[in-house]
Structure 1
Amino acid sequence: MPLKKMKESILKMSHNFRRKICIVLTTRGNYAKMKSTLLRIQENSELELQVILSGALATEGYTQYKLILEKLGIYNIHIVEYLINGASTKGDMLESGALATGAIGKSLMMLSPDIVVVIADRYEALSVAFAATCLNIPIAHLEGGEVSGSIDERIRHAITKLSHLHFVSNTYAARRVFKLGEKKESIYIVGNPSIDLIRNCDTGAVDVLFDYQKDNGEGFVDYNEKYLVVSQHSVVSELTDTARQINETMKVVKSLALPTVWMLPNPDAGCGEIESALFRFAENSNPGNIVFYKSMPFELYALLLSNSLCLIGNSSSGIRECEYLGVPVVNIGSRQNGRERGENVVDVNYDAEKIEEAVRKQIQHGFYQTNYIYGRGDAAENISRILASTEIILNKEIRY
């Protein structure tokens, strides 16, 4: 039997059993994206779900995520630690990425999944993809083919070339993955699974935000009043400018003097500098109408956004989830450069005067109509079905 045919038959034999699907979650954003997919895989009789809880979600400040998963009936959870000093410098991020490859790789060897789902474009996602490649485990990649700034852009396309299934958000992303040499039959336009959760969220009852603030917030905001949300992360390729970038945003928040919910940054190089600046800002300015959160369950975050005046910063939630919700967004800097966006997004540079002008215009405009750029809320159902039914040949060949 020819080698290629033999490999195909081995993969088809494994389809007679429950396929083991391993999903690696490392950030609050990962969980938000994957919750609906986790539940769909858990419900699918042809699939067996494995979860590796790692990165920030394996640290002391995020212990609630294991409990959250268990409340969903997900118990096949494996904790893997790799973060060095919160990966807050380039060196720490480099060491953390190296440790992630080895530590997550060992878990993959033990779990022996049929497919590993790799999420998006963070540095540790590349570590997961590299470990799976070395172990001959096929990879399904979420959010390939998108465009953005920072090192995410390079990492995302590198993972695409290591992956066997591509779950993309829209036709634009599908075309880019195809142009990277991937076979058309391996590319699936499913939308973004975070939209699944928003579709089913109750975006009216703000009482739960007060309850969550009581136990998890640093500061206070009255959610019955009009408020802003800020979510600004470090840009790893612009670390020497991190302090100036966050200072421009702090000037705007101080000048506007509106109640503000400030989400702390992801654990990337530069995050420590941002957090230190924010804590000094809170201490010196003594604002009585700002609350800081390390993290927030996604359904609450969607509720928070949907009742806000405007989201300010450089979070992808401004591009994806806010487009679906119609929330006005002022996107700052290069982090989301090139990503498909709706009319709800106004782009500005790190200039306090221009940021404030844009925020005031967005508040005056109010909510926008959605164009469903990132899907209509049925991604998880499609992903689960494809994972259960699609045959995968491990060795890839470039299409052209």
Structure 2
Amino acid sequence: MLTGTRADYGLLRGLLRAIDADPALDLQIIATGTHLNDSFGRTASEIESDGFTVAASVPIWTEDDTRLGVAGDVGWALPLYAQALDDLDPDILVVLGDRLEAFIAATAATILSVPVAHIHGGEITEGAMDDALRHSITKMSYLHFASTEEHRRRVIQLGEEPGRVHFHGAPVVDALDALELLPRDAVAQQFGIRLSDPYALVTFHPAVMDVAAPAVLLDRLLAALLDVDGLHIVITGSNSDIGTADVRQRIADFVASHPDRVDFVESFGQLGYLSAMSSAAVVAGNSSSTVLEAPVLGIPSVLVGDRQKGRPLGSSVRSPMPTRSGIADALREAISGANPGPDAAIFGTPGFAARTTMTLRDTAIPRPPRKKFYDIEEESGE
């Protein structure tokens, strides 16, 4: 199992526990990405504090977050993942999502003839490079665990045989079902922040293919947040992506300039983050949490830019024109509007971890993982 960020680990935790508890399966965890970076909170400690053993640690990112620098890191990381996989010799590598860590690891696995299982394939995020990475991972994967029926159909459309493509729901539904969220006061005390009512929980990541440059979108979002009278702002740290350094510096300057209205937390961890979200007036930014966790919790959200464009949007998600005034109006509407309540049905029911563990255990997975390209015409009879 590969985990590269605090976000994917929070989603994978239930599956890790289910695999670890199954006597027929042997769990090996590869920790990589920002888990091993002090600047992002070195969140590998969270894996170990949960009682898991990290079988391999693969540090892959340098401090150069330019396009050329990241491209160089990708080339440097490939043999490191290959060596880890060769040492561990897994029967299958499980990866989640669309980040470069998953793409590079899946590439290394493909070269080594290690089968890959992919979670969250078939999705669309038009404003991010991740869109191409996700579909590439799909084509390198033998098993697929899609979060909706629509996403399952897309994976099949990419030529994957239906019998290898499973709709087991989204792991976030499991995570929310299993967690006992902390009261607001406990979150505030634990992280030393103010959660005065109303407050916005904000996460923004740079996306190189968005409708505007990351710095432009971020500046408009931050200005719009200030335009909402009485709104307290809680900002979390950004992912390690192309352009992250500039985004993080702008956030740091904003926090320092508005100490009366803004708090910053580098990494809440899953429990802290979802607990903070559960009492927020609005979730804002361009993180996947605006379209996944927030709707499932029934918290209104404002999605900025095209980073998540193409994902299914619940009724509680607003996607305004990415202008200062448009974002500010959407924030006000979200805060003052009627709460539509939880909107989890689209992402399936709890039980993702159990269903996925059973599939991993009971599926005969060939090595090398030869696949037949599936033509949709075969299904329709055309």
TM-score interval, normalised by the smaller of the two chains: over 0.9
Q: Deviations over 1:32-55 (max 9, x none)?
A: 110001101110111000011111
- Whole-angstrom distance in 1 between the partners of 2:149 and 2:212: 36
User: Residue 207 of structure 1: CA displacement?
Assistant: 2.9
User: Residue 200 of structure 1: CA displacement?
Assistant: 2.3
Q: Percent identity?
A: 28
User: Residue 297 of structure 1: CA displacement?
Assistant: 1.0
Q: Determine helix, strand or coil for the equivalent of 1:237.
A: coil
Matched, 1:179 2:151: no
User: Residue 260 of structure 1: CA displacement?
Assistant: 1.0
What amino acid does structure 2 have at the position aligned with 1:134? I
Matched, 1:277 2:255: no
Aligned to 1:362: 334
User: Residue 66 of structure 1: CA displacement?
Assistant: 3.3
- Whole-angstrom distance in 2 between the partners of 1:101 and 1:53: 15
- Whole-angstrom distance in 1 between the partners of 2:349 and 2:72: 39
- Whole-angstrom distance in 2 between the partners of 1:46 and 1:382: 15
Q: 2:215 aligns with which of 229, 243, 251?
A: 243
Q: Deviations over 1:307-360 (max 9, x none)?
A: 000011111111111121111011111101110121011112320100010110
The count of residues paired between Structure 1 and Structure 2 equals 370
Q: 2:361 aligns with which of 378, 388, 393?
A: 388
- Whole-angstrom distance in 2 between the partners of 1:249 and 1:138: 42
Q: Determine helix, strand or coil for the equivalent of 1:337.
A: coil
Aligned to 1:118: 95
Distance 1:275 1:72, change over 3 A: closer
Distance 1:64 1:124, change over 3 A: closer
- Whole-angstrom distance in 2 between the partners of 1:229 and 1:175: 33
Aligned to 2:22: 44
- Whole-angstrom distance in 2 between the partners of 1:154 and 1:110: 29
The answer to whether the 8 Å contact 2:255/2:263 transfers is no
Query: What's the RMSD between the two structures over aligned residues?
Result: 1.7
User: Residue 250 of structure 1: CA displacement?
Assistant: 1.2
Aligned to 2:314: 342
Matched, 1:267 2:243: no
The answer to whether the 8 Å contact 1:313/1:332 transfers is yes
Q: Determine helix, strand or coil for the equivalent of 1:148.
A: coil
Structure 2: which 5+ runs fail to align?
Answer: 376-382
Q: Determine helix, strand or coil for the equivalent of 2:345.
A: coil
- Whole-angstrom distance in 2 between the partners of 1:232 and 1:35: 23
- Whole-angstrom distance in 1 between the partners of 2:55 and 2:211: 35
Matches within 5 A, 1:93-112: 93-112=70-89
User: Residue 62 of structure 1: CA displacement?
Assistant: 5.2
Structure 1: which 5+ runs fail to align?
Answer: 1-22, 215-219
Aligned to 2:107: 130
TM-score normalised per structure 1: 0.89
TM-score normalised per structure 2: 0.93
More deviation, 365-374/154-163: 365-374
The answer to whether the 8 Å contact 1:239/1:270 transfers is no
User: Residue 371 of structure 1: CA displacement?
Assistant: 4.1
Aligned to 1:212: 190
- Whole-angstrom distance in 1 between the partners of 2:42 and 2:245: 22
Q: Deviations over 1:2-28 (max 9, x none)?
A: xxxxxxxxxxxxxxxxxxxxx111111
Q: Determine helix, strand or coil for the equivalent of 1:47.
A: coil
